[in-house]
Structure 1
Amino acid sequence: MESDFMTTTTTTETAFAQQLFDAAQTQHALTMADFTAAVPDEDAAYRVQDQLTVLKQQPVGGYKVSLTSAETQKMFAAHSPLYGAQVTTHFLAAPATVRLGQLMAPLVEAELVFKAKEDLAATDTLTDLWHKTTVAPGLELPDSRFADWFPSLPKNLVVADAAVGGLVVYGEELDTDQRFASADAVATVNCRLTHDGEVLKTGTASEVLGNPLKSLHWLVGKLAEQGKTLTAGQRVSSGTFVLPPHLTAGHWEASFDQQLGQVNLDVTND
């Protein structure tokens, strides 16, 4: 059953979604000041995002969760996370190569990527999610269809723009309950982000709502509120361990302890 949330897209919202889609196709960035009135609240922003997803004419491969740290919530004047649907082709198995020209103004984040082994429900506990998922080391490349977007893009425009979704690169996927002794243990992972061998950032999983499984739990509940389900096979980039630097050409690696391993990405200048 479709919820009321899905059935009330306005002409303005539909037009905005088309402009976001066109901006991605042409790589001609939008000016954020032109659109602040287009999405007066978060529900309107998610309706725009849904319409944008329809325009992409591809299956949803999963989601990314944003604003999962106190620091990033403060930057975007938000009090809770937000999500963006990502089409299947935006999830890349590592090692991957990406051209800078594929993206508009990308950043780079180190994250855990979960994959649902079965459909997930809003009633699932963190322990249920620990049993029902695989986990992989990940690099997420947030990107926006708005010029000069980081860190000043208004929150509702972030939501409309598929949570500034770009690409998600994921490493080896292993059962979460085989990799970690408990759901709580997921919070203790540490990572290191390097570019051409130089360590740029270090971070810990507890930056992500205290535990990345809490980010996944939030997402499953938020989707349920909107009449949606996180289904078997879909992946979730669960939130960054580090404040993201800009993506540049070269070799990027995020390495994680607790035998999660690393994820490698080569970025070319073309």
Structure 2
Amino acid sequence: MSGVTPGERLAARLDEAARRGEVIPQPSQEAALSVADAYAVQELAVARRLDRGERLVGVKMGFTSRQKMAQMGVDEVIWGRLTSAMLVPEGERIAPDHYIHPRVEPEVAFLIGQDLPVGAPPETITSAVTAVAPALEIIDSRYADFRFTLADVVADNASAAGFVLGAWRPVPPSLDRLGVLLEVDGRMAEAGATAAILGDPWRSLVAAAQLTGRAGMPLRAGWVVLAGAATAAVPLCPGEQVRAVIESLGSASVGVTAGSPRP
């Protein structure tokens, strides 16, 4: 289409791939893509969702643990946008054909109680949190075999696909040494600790506020920040029930109906 930029074309491809559950080639296989350009593509792709009536409700952090970096083959913290359509009610059973090859991981969620100005110091950022919750993030790459470069995954909204929130809790004295379990059908699939999230989930929150602020999208009152995975992600398979349990915070769960993911 005349007048459409390469970034707009890529944003449209990624948006349609997510809507249709279709795998597309990695952009980096076709042309050079910088991380800065990838964030611009991410913004354009999410803007298409907002144009359809979705709302921004927060941000997610990615690659905040060495284990996750190793699993995905990258070495840099990233962030993506959360929209209202991504929120899955706690305990609900989702249809697998809504995704391509979904995975799930346990996280700590922060609830932001007031708008944060760009450049806010760490103490202002942390004091803006009014509650925390255990969470599950559903990730789902639009690329074959979950393989991508750093720029590829940033453009793909950091693989964001859905999230589940447990009950909100008062902010505890500390969050850095809480045990984490990821259970599948009542059996332990992964175990870890919140210290895997940049050493302390609060650091991830500060990084989120700083990164989004520099991008011209400061955190807003009512938004959720997913701090990043505390363990490796596991496949989200038809018929399974998955639960994240975080010491002193409680649990969050999601089920998958019988059926098959999209081919």
TM-score (norm 1): 0.87
For 2:20, the equivalent position in structure 1 comes to 26
The counterpart of 2:241, out of the listed 239, 245, 251, is 251
- Cα shift at 1:80: 2.9
Residues 254 and 77 of structure 1: CA distance in aligned 2, closer, same or farther (over 3 Å): closer
The counterpart of 1:45, out of the listed 28, 38, 52, is 38
What secondary structure, in the 3-state scheme, does the structure 2 residue paired with 1:238 have? Answer: strand
Contact 2:108 2:227 in 1 (8 A): yes
Contact 2:65 2:197 in 1 (8 A): yes
1:218 paired to 2:228: no
Residues 63 and 39 of structure 1: CA distance in aligned 2, closer, same or farther (over 3 Å): farther
CA–CA separation in structure 2 for the residues paired with 1:236 and 1:243: 19
- Cα shift at 1:28: 1.6
For 2:256, the equivalent position in structure 1 comes to 267
Structure 1, unaligned stretches of length 5 or more?
1-9
- Cα shift at 1:135: 0.6
1:30 corresponds to which letter in structure 2?
Answer: I
Structure 2, unaligned stretches of length 5 or more?
none
- Cα shift at 1:92: 2.4
For 2:131, the equivalent position in structure 1 comes to 134
What RMSD, in angstroms, separates the aligned Cα atoms of the two structures?
Answer: 1.9
CA–CA separation in structure 2 for the residues paired with 1:218 and 1:87: 20
CA–CA separation in structure 2 for the residues paired with 1:36 and 1:136: 39
For 1:154, the equivalent position in structure 2 comes to 149
Q: How many residues align?
A: 252
* Identical positions, percent: 25
**Structure 2 matches for 1:156-171, cutoff 5 A?**
156-171=151-166
CA–CA separation in structure 2 for the residues paired with 1:81 and 1:166: 18
CA–CA separation in structure 2 for the residues paired with 1:254 and 1:77: 24
2:167 corresponds to which letter in structure 1?
Answer: E
**Structure 2 matches for 1:195-234, cutoff 5 A?**
195-234=184-223
CA–CA separation in structure 2 for the residues paired with 1:52 and 1:251: 31
Residues 264 and 77 of structure 1: CA distance in aligned 2, closer, same or farther (over 3 Å): closer
Contact 2:28 2:149 in 1 (8 A): no
For 1:16, the equivalent position in structure 2 comes to 10
- Cα shift at 1:49: 0.2
- Cα shift at 1:131: 5.1
- Cα shift at 1:74: 4.4
TM-score (norm 2): 0.89
The counterpart of 2:122, out of the listed 110, 121, 125, is 125
1:190-233 alpha-carbon deviations (Å, 9 max, x no partner): 11111111111111001000111111110110111111111011
- Cα shift at 1:59: 1.3
Q: Which range moved further: 118-127 or 234-243? A: 118-127
- Cα shift at 1:38: 4.2
For 1:4, the equivalent position in structure 2 comes to none
